[in-house]
Structure 1
């Protein structure tokens, strides 16, 4: 077996591999021992694995023993001398005549054992035959037992290679890496170690290369990478480079220099892979590493942390990063929120809607509501939408969120219609929803099923520029318009807003982003910008609604500038349905 740990641990590693239960491997060992019994005409046979304290029996045939102390193991004599040992009658051998396994069960009277050697010469066990009566054992039988032991050792090496080697690069694979880290723990190693992941080709790029140039080309590149990495890192023969997945490699080291990771990154630089004479591929190398003490961190967690560091380096577009527990905690929390949100959408009362009134600046009366999702997590408490919605916007879960909001709004609208309370409610819809096949027809069907006038459900368009970039989303938006839905454009004026897209999107209401509004009363430039935007939008026949109105002075300025509607805490905070009904009654009394 190719060494992948320090020399003094190789023997221990091989023993640990054999000691561990493996149903498939042990089944083959049983077939080997059955063959040995049949060919040598000795009923009992087994494989003995020896460490510094115990003997472990594998693949036993008619041999009722599973484990003994090392002192009681006949096979320790075979292992210590390193050659085949034959004892035709144990009672006639001074070494064994008083042995407990001779005088009591399993009453061994005949024993022959051949050592199982690794490639580097270490004895990891023995292939043995035994009986409860003495036997003669010819030279031919001796040679046959040695041959069977050699075949078994070769098979074990092949088993190791197939299970612990990457088939393309022939480097030790991820399973081998896990085993080597686990061995450090079993050997009670307290010295800090580092696991470094080296990402040369990410998975999407690997698929792209395979699709365009073929699997053979991708495999050639991967083999070249394995050679290139060893050369650039100047790895000695006893230093192991692992292949943990396609295009991703790993180093396990005890080097503790604080600058080492940066030095590794600098040595690797960029990869320039010449595929054909006229085709080359440039690949950026990224590193993620974690420091750990083997006895304090299990192997799966070590790998997980290194993956976390690598993905963070990729996300931040940095050549290398070390594991950061705080960032990792945040990512884990994000993952949990995604899982818990999916559960909340499919039942329970954790999710709910609040409704924020929209006020006419001409009459002062409520003219609409915006539905806003809220999440009261059973363990984490109130989670703001700004924390969980960005996590789902690019996933299939976004469609479930949109549908849950729409169905909840329609249910509430039905209750309000029955109470003769008819205010239109706006819901936010993502570009992925507009582009979804059948979304407009589904929405129209649900409105009719709820028995609600279509004018009471308004659609707010988010991510305007992404909508423009998607022909499917634009088609979905236009279909909603033809079906009679009122459409509004959300967050106009935030970041970069291209005025030209107003000609392309069939909307009725333009919502001015709070970033245009919040300094309206204190900043002359903001006042000038808002005045010109509102004038332009009114000339284009849009209804203009200002978000984020927090004080009376801002409200009055917006009214003077010709803005139609306002929404914000000065008008009203978002309210639960019961609170909204109470607020509306108060508004009616005030108007009266």
Structure 2
């Protein structure tokens, strides 16, 4: 059953419909055929039984007719005057002659005359067995004398006869005429002709002595005798089944049976022809039904096949296919209409999904995924022509500040305005402007080299110089941009976009406006992929080292402070340069853990670093991540309390770029640190654009002049003027000044002349491990 189900499941729906329908039809036809056949068999047997009963009556009728004919002939003989005279006178010769002539005339085989006492007078059967015949005839006559109008069957000398007896009167009864008519083959043939039933006449006292006397069968079959011996109702003759009816005859001189038989096949022949016709009609009906079922199945399955093809087309993304069968009024038509509605609905949803997947809902610009696919296509197209292309990634400066102050709704409107302004600046075939995320945008410049990209960045920067006016608010915006070119900077779209973003983040960190990608900016190179986990491991396993670079008072030359610097002693790479992991730590935010480690280590060693007289300050650099962390002041306070060191023992150096990313939050953090007692210093002063604007607002105590001005002031008068002006400005504001980059004695002397408070540089000392610092300081102070 399971294999049959598996075979069906592997067929087409139309084939399965046809097979199931044909199976049902055949089941009905077979059931009907067997029911008809059983009914026919019952009818045939009933009809045969009825025919045999009729044949029995016909048999009786034939015997009666024979008896009547014999009786009439006997009456004629008995009424003959000459015969009566011969009987009266006892003329035996005349009597014998008359009996013989009369028997020959009517076909009676036995004729006899009996006296009134029923004693045999004369008989045509006289001979060697006169005594036996006389006895038989006497018995017959005795029986018939009781029913003169009747007849009687008797066995005489092995033959079967029908006897009648008529009185001879003159005028009294002077004798009896007894005539016996042989029951022969013609009588059985008449019965066969009249009823269509085979007749067999059997004799015998019991089943063991049955003898076949007469039969209408072509041959005398032993099967009839065997069937008669057991009284079987059926006889098999040459493979032909026959139904038999046994009629016992009350005969004298022995037992007689008439076996009436009718062939089942003969009676069933008309029905068999009907069954054959029914079979042919059934076969034709099955063929027609198969053809009709196939057509009906196609009528149903063809639209389903078309709908299946439609579903495959929909699955492949083709929604422009036509749906057939929609005009049908049946269930298939309803299904086709449902499919068409689904097709249009899915097409609309797909368009909406594609729009959401590839377009930014706020600005209407392509999103990152759309930009990425367009960039891939542009690179593939440019491979053949070898035409370069460039990607510019743009990020708005201080956009978070706009959201915090003016709200996100205003920020959204600002992004729309920025998108519109970028669209105005970027045109040309193949060029594209997209919004990647938040306030980050990307520009694709097809067939553009680095020089063309630089021109576009200048054009965009100039466009941002005009303030944006929205809802009666005027906002000054600037943007940091990174540029990466194909194929020089990357071979594929993802890497090109990534490196453009790296250059943008570097430009933002360095407040450079625009930077082109260089490998030195890439903190995601193969070498730095494992840096984050390695840095965590280094922090946990004591691989970090604290180095100190001394600061001296220019007036006395004494060591008054030291800048704490972090170094990484890698077990495989050796001493890792700070530039190989500090930028990466700033990008990932891990720099906050490094800052805390420096404070904890410096606080632990502070007491051991102090000279006999005075105090030694330790300067530690803070990053943007530190200033953006609202919990940072509290963490430093906890470290100071745990170590027992006063916050005044530390100077916190902050770069201008760290402040400018989010000035309000940075300012709040600096005020908290100042209130705790930390000395604050502006590092790399002079390299930014807004230092003077924030200098008067921030609670700083010190300015640190960038080494780019100090290192060349002995050769460049302009640098010397900048250093002099910065020192004067700081002193006027009540701030102390530290100059870094002192590479020789002349620079140190020049700074002393300009009243610079402190100096540091390689001329004084390079950064050294903190455990070497005390010995070096002793040697330095002894040498001055």
TM-score normalised over the length of structure 1: 0.52
Q: How does 1:163-242 map to 2 (within 5 A)?
A: 167-168=354-355
Gaps of 5+ in 1: 1-32, 43-134, 235-240, 271-285, 318-325
* Cα separation, partners in 2 of 1:544 and 1:171, compared to 1, 3 Å: closer
Deviation at 1:480, TM superposition (A): 1.4
Q: Distance in 2 between matches of 1:553 and 1:199?
A: 45
Q: Are 2:558 and 1:365 equivalent residues in the alignment?
A: yes
Match of 1:307 among 491, 497, 517: 497
2:758 is matched with 565
Q: How does 1:476-495 map to 2 (within 5 A)?
A: 476-495=669-688
Match of 2:698 among 492, 500, 505: 505
C-alpha contact (below 8 Å) 1:447/1:453 kept by paired residues: yes
Give the secondary structure class of the aligned counterpart of 2:311: helix
Q: How does 1:511-590 map to 2 (within 5 A)?
A: 511-587=704-780, 590=783
Q: Distance in 1 between matches of 2:313 and 2:387?
A: 28
Q: Distance in 2 between matches of 1:404 and 1:388?
A: 15
* Cα separation, partners in 2 of 1:151 and 1:434, compared to 1, 3 Å: same
* Greater RCO structure (CA 8 Å; 6+ sep): 1
1:444 is matched with 637
2:659 is matched with 466
Q: Distance in 2 between matches of 1:590 and 1:199?
A: 56
Q: How does 1:119-518 map to 2 (within 5 A)?
A: 138-142=294-298, 144-161=300-317, 167-168=354-355, 302-305=492-495, 307-308=497-498, 333-334=523-524, 340-348=530-538, 349=542, 351-375=544-568, 384-386=577-579, 388-390=581-583, 393=586, 396-413=589-606, 416=609, 423-463=616-656, 466=659, 470-496=663-689, 498-499=691-692, 501-518=694-711
C-alpha contact (below 8 Å) 1:435/1:470 kept by paired residues: no
C-alpha contact (below 8 Å) 2:648/2:679 kept by paired residues: yes
* Cα separation, partners in 2 of 1:152 and 1:420, compared to 1, 3 Å: farther
Q: Distance in 2 between matches of 1:436 and 1:476?
A: 8
Deviation at 1:444, TM superposition (A): 0.9
Deviation at 1:409, TM superposition (A): 2.8
C-alpha contact (below 8 Å) 2:656/2:691 kept by paired residues: no
Deviation at 1:552, TM superposition (A): 0.9
Q: Distance in 2 between matches of 1:508 and 1:516?
A: 21
**1:358-404 Cα distance to aligned partner (Å, 9 max, x none):** 11223322111101233456777655444554555566444344334
Deviation at 1:505, TM superposition (A): 2.3
* Cα separation, partners in 2 of 1:214 and 1:156, compared to 1, 3 Å: farther
Q: Distance in 2 between matches of 1:332 and 1:316?
A: 9
* Cα separation, partners in 2 of 1:567 and 1:34, compared to 1, 3 Å: farther
Q: Distance in 2 between matches of 1:248 and 1:523?
A: 41
2:16 is matched with 41
Gaps of 5+ in 2: 1-7, 18-290, 318-345, 360-366, 461-481, 508-515
C-alpha contact (below 8 Å) 1:344/1:351 kept by paired residues: no
Deviation at 1:476, TM superposition (A): 1.8
Deviation at 1:249, TM superposition (A): 12
C-alpha contact (below 8 Å) 2:388/2:448 kept by paired residues: no
Q: Distance in 2 between matches of 1:365 and 1:213?
A: 53
* Cα separation, partners in 2 of 1:403 and 1:335, compared to 1, 3 Å: farther
C-alpha contact (below 8 Å) 2:393/2:504 kept by paired residues: no
Give the secondary structure class of the aligned counterpart of 1:549: coil
Give the secondary structure class of the aligned counterpart of 1:343: helix
Q: How does 1:83-98 map to 2 (within 5 A)?
A: none
Q: How many residues align?
A: 412
Q: Distance in 1 between matches of 2:581 and 2:758?
A: 29
* Cα separation, partners in 2 of 1:156 and 1:386, compared to 1, 3 Å: same
Give the secondary structure class of the aligned counterpart of 2:552: strand
Deviation at 1:548, TM superposition (A): 1.0
2:273 is matched with none
**1:240-266 Cα distance to aligned partner (Å, 9 max, x none):** x9x999999999x9xxx999xx9xx99
1:30 is matched with none
Give the secondary structure class of the aligned counterpart of 1:587: helix
Deviation at 1:497, TM superposition (A): 6.5
C-alpha contact (below 8 Å) 2:554/2:756 kept by paired residues: yes
